[in-house]
Structure 1
């Protein structure tokens, strides 16, 4: 099977979402893109790269797109405890709905993602998820 190299999140405003997803995932924005974000000098179709310096996690690209449905074109499942959930909310996420086994959240542009406790990841499969 091929290895997962990257995940792309399409967005309207990479200046808003790159720092958000960097805070939520702990993946740093590469230095060149940090400068472009600070200078607000990204080209109209230029993506921002978040990369794990150890190379153990897939890259995350925050890529501008003009036509996006709401919610957007991504769905990530993240694992975190109560402290990490609080940090995600502080970074700008909002709660969409609480389910018995996980929480559905949205990033600042409305893209939904799930936050699961570690027990759910290692527990029985989640039907329809």
Structure 2
């Protein structure tokens, strides 16, 4: 029994426009419907067997001034590629962002609706991830988050320190899930993970399992929907989708 991340859910005032931005940013394709799903090039496949897609959903409220607790890190093959990507992203509508990063080798940007993300300098560990190197979660206790998410997911804990923890699927390809100690991180997020049970597993059995691990029910006014909204032990939202 296990869950796996299949998409990052992103809230937006204009889901179609933001979905197009992320598809273009990643070299992916935007698929439009009630939401806009950005996934690898080619025909629509959900869930993708390797990549974690981006599903952009419409909401009436704009992003507030506070930094999101979840953001994406984008991978690069070289310093030249990093510089080229930053220039291209700004041309697509991204803007430089200051989150107190000071002098660092990566570039912090915000997408057209203000969601922060990083364009990393080349790092060997991200050579085979695809365009998204990592989904990064600000938290108070990375070791505790690694324990919870390591039990919840069909992913392997790769590294744990007091300041940082990372998980990744056993199969090659796809991003890391990382937890970064960030004092004072709190508040609602525009991004969260959507998870899917393994083939043949029962959605409600998986929900019961993660509740036993420390997840709690979350009511965001979702009403009668086929997914279950939960929070992890530090209050980060996630959803358990129904298999189909």
Instruction: Give, in whole Å, the separation in 1 of the partners of 2:180 and 2:188.
Output: 16
Aligned to 1:70: 187
Greater length-normalized contact order (CA 8 Å, ≥ 6 residues apart): 1
- Relative to its length, the structure with more strand (as a share) is 2
Structure 1 unaligned segments of length 5 or more: list them.
Answer: 37-41, 120-129
Query: TM-score scaled by structure 1?
Result: 0.71
8 Å CA contact retained: 1:70, 1:111: no
Deviation at 1:56, TM superposition (A): 3.8
Q: CA deviation at 1:95?
A: 0.6
1:10 and 1:72 in contact (8 A); partners too? no
Judge conservation of contact 2:143–2:164 (CA < 8 Å) in 1.
no
Residue 92 of structure 1: how far off its partner (Å): 0.8
Q: From 150, 171, 174, give the equivalent of 1:54.
A: 171
Tell me the CA shift for residue 71 of structure 1: 3.9
Is the contact between residue 146 and residue 165 of structure 2 (CA under 8 Å) also seen in structure 1? yes
Q: Residue 60 of structure 1 aligns to a residue in which SS?
A: strand
SS at 1:99 equivalent: coil
> Which one of 134, 155, 158 corresponds to residue 6 of structure 1?
134
List runs of 5+ in structure 2 lacking aligned partners. 1-26, 28-129, 198-202
- In structure 2, the residue matched to 1:100 is 224
Q: CA deviation at 1:99?
A: 3.3
How far apart, in 2, do the equivalents of 1:94 and 1:111 lie?
10
Q: Aligned in 2, Cα 1:89/1:57: closer, same or farther, shift over 3 Å?
A: farther
Q: Secondary structure at the match of 2:192?
A: coil
Q: How far apart, in 2, do the equivalents of 1:72 and 1:63 lie?
A: 16
Please give the root-mean-square deviation of Cα atoms over the aligned residues, in Å: 2.1
**Are residues 72 and 10 of structure 1, via their aligned partners in 2, closer, same or farther at CA, if it must alter by over 3 Å?**
farther
For 1:66 and 1:8, the matched residues in 2 are separated by 15
Q: Distance in 1 between matches of 2:174 and 2:213?
A: 21
Deviation at 1:59, TM superposition (A): 0.9
Residue matched to 1:123: none
Give the aligned partner of residue 211 of structure 2.
89
2:156 alignment partner, SS class: coil
1:16 paired residue number: 144
Report the count of equivalent residues.
Answer: 108
Structure showing greater radius of gyration is 2
